[in-house]
Amino acid sequence: MIFNSPVFVIFLVIVFALYWTPITRNGTHRNPVLLISSYVFYGWWDWRFLSLILFSSLLDFYLGLRLGAATDQGKRKRLLIISMVVNLGVLFFFKYFNFFLGSFQDMLGVGELSWTFRIILPVGISFYTFQTMSYCIDIYRRQLEPTKDLLGFMTFVSFFPQLVAGPIERAKDLLPQIQALRPFSHDNAVLGCKLMLIGAFKKMVVADRLAPLVEAIFENQTEFSGLFNVLGAVLFAIQIYCDFSGYSDIAVGTAKLFNVDLMSNFNRPYFALSLREFWARWHISLSTWFRDYVYIPLGGNRGTLALHARNLMVTFVLSGLWHGANWTFIIWGALHGGFLIVERFIGGPLKRTPTLVQWAITMVVVLVGWVFFRAQDLAHAMEYLGHLVPNGTDLGHQLKRLMRIPEVSGFSLLATFVFTAFVLVIDKLSISPRFVSTVDNNRFVRYATYSTLVALVLLFGVFTDQAAFIYFQF
């Protein structure tokens, strides 16, 4: 079940009605409704993997109680190690076992093994694993008291709006909201519907219409010139932003229907003037997780420049590996870590350059990184980067080839670029108090804006069960 499917709309209406029905007015039945609904939501994909969520929930609930009660530091450390080893062990098996096995056999030059595991990657395992681990870590650090509410904790782990692709919430922020008897909020519900509409527009109208263009260029990079391959990288940057931020908007909006506030995951990342600023704006819940649980424990920016560089590189290589079992993601993470180190060494001179230059340098690094992120493997990435220079092929011929793709037409191509520009303009205008005030306070502007978005989604949205969100694979 995915957010951009009719099944989810029906599911959400039913859950909303059950959650706010007078029967649950005193709140005693709300968490059971959310928990059962969340398990139905996840089990719709593959019911067999519900056992993993249940196991992770029960394990960390129990270990959290033991951590809270333990006074001996050695015992507390052992309990934390158990949580991390088991959670990371499960994650490693499902996500990385075959990758490391294949890399090991390639390194030894032994050829293909006669056996392998047919492992299916559970959707969202990277997200809820990090969420449960942070719960035990925070208790260990004495930053959080363990909960005795098993039902509430299980709901926190499996909360369906953010279960499969985040945001990765901390227990101290989300768990109290789930446990509290919060009344229905008309304002939050209205805001939630607006966010869901904006997210649907980003995903169905922009990201899904860009997908065939990106696919055509990335899968046929040798047949296009440097200009078209640069365009492919730019379009993928827009696609993944609209896809993932669209998901996050729908997730945050859906949670608001239940009067639950999730953290914002994006803050206009493509307007960043440095890579450090980019990571303060992109996938904020993940970047702050790695900051708090990897980068700072390693030492952060304390100590020598060499130690700081090591901490940055380790953090971003692990971040890349978190995204997928492929060397392309590791290189993507290392590229970002390496340039952050460069920024650390020459940050002063960079900041003294014109704003446009700072932005251009940042975007070049981001776009090169997206090539690795999108490529099938390292060979594909290097070949694509090698064709970023012009090859002398007639641009008109390349455009005709692009237009022969069934999903591409002159009108759809023009509409896609117009809608992409629209998203970027709205992102930029959203920081303007005057713009926000005009939309929120002027009834005519408000109705016109959201009616137009509804019409655009219905007229130009891609309605297909195959248009899954990109981050579902992580």
Q: Rounded mean pLDDT of 288-307?
A: 91
- The sign one gets for the Cα dihedral 163, 95, 325, 171 is positive
Domain assignments of the chain as residue spans, ordered by start: 6-183, 188-460
pLDDT (tens digit, 9 = 90+) per residue, 58-79? Answer: 999 999 999 999 989 999 999 9
C-alpha to C-alpha distance for 399 and 393, rounded to whole angstroms: 11
Count other C-beta atoms under 10 Å from residue 183's C-beta. Answer: 9
Residue 452 CB-density burial (10 A; 0-12 exposed, 13-18 middle, 19+ buried): exposed
Which among 425, 173, 440, 191 has a CA at the least distance from the CA of 292? Answer: 173
What is the rounded CA–CA span in Å between residue 345 and residue 177?
Answer: 43
Tokens read off for 440 = 């929120």
pLDDT at 409: 60
pLDDT of residue 174: 94
Which residues fall within 8 angstroms of residue 279, CB to CB, at 6 or more apart?
Answer: 287, 336, 340
| Residues 6+ positions from 414 with CB-CB distance below 8 Å | none
Residue 402 has pLDDT above 50, yes or no: yes
Determine the Cα–Cα distance for residues 457 and 205; give it in Å rounded to an integer.
Answer: 6
From CA 331, how far away is CA 369, in angstroms rounded?
Answer: 8
Q: Which residue has the higher pLDDT, 342 or 463?
A: 342
- In this predicted structure, the answer to whether residue 97 has a pLDDT above a threshold of 70 is yes
Residue 439, sorted as left (phi over 0), alpha (psi -120 to 50) or beta, turns out to be alpha
Alpha-carbon distance 59 to 56, whole Å? 5
Give how far the C-alpha of residue 267 lies from the chain's centroid of Cα atoms, to the nearest Å.
13
Ranges 25-29, 424-428, 441-445: which has the least confidence: 25-29
Neighbour count for residue 37 (Cβ, 10 Å): 22
Confidence band for 176, pLDDT divided at 50, 70 and 90? very high
Q: Are 232 and 224 in contact (CB under 8 A)?
A: yes
What per-residue confidence (pLDDT) applies to 76? 93
25 vs 9, more confident: 9
The verdict on whether omega for the bond into residue 167 sits within 30 degrees of 0, i.e. cis, is yes
Other C-beta atoms lying within 10 Å of the C-beta of residue 418: 11
Q: What is the mean pLDDT of residues 340-369?
A: 88
The stretch 174-202 carries a mean pLDDT of 89
* Mean pLDDT lowest among 100-109, 210-219, 255-264: 100-109
The rounded mean pLDDT for the chain is: 85
Return the percent helix, strand and coil in the chain, to nearest 5.
Answer: 75, 0, 25
- Asked if residue 292 has pLDDT above 70, the reply is yes
* pLDDT over 70 (residue 31): yes
**Residue 111 pLDDT > 70, yes or no?**
no
Q: Which of helix, strand or coil describes residue 108? A: helix
Q: Is 382 helix (H, G, I), strand (E, B) or coil?
A: helix
Look at residue 426 in the predicted model and tell me its pLDDT. 72
Helix (H/G/I), strand (E/B), else coil: 245: helix
pLDDT at 472 over 80: no
- Band the pLDDT of 114: cuts 50, 70, 90: very low
Residue with tokens 């970002």: 336
Q: What is the pTM of this model?
A: 0.89
Residues serving a catalytic function are: 323
Report whether 223 contacts 393 (CB < 8 A).
Answer: yes
The one-letter amino acid code at 263 reads M
In this prediction, what percent of the chain has a pLDDT beyond 70? 84
> Which DSSP category does 274 fall into?
S
pLDDT tens, residue by residue, 300-340: 888 888 898 999 999 999 999 999 888 999 999 999 999 99
* Half-sphere exposure (Cβ direction) of 49: Cα atoms closer than 13 Å: 20
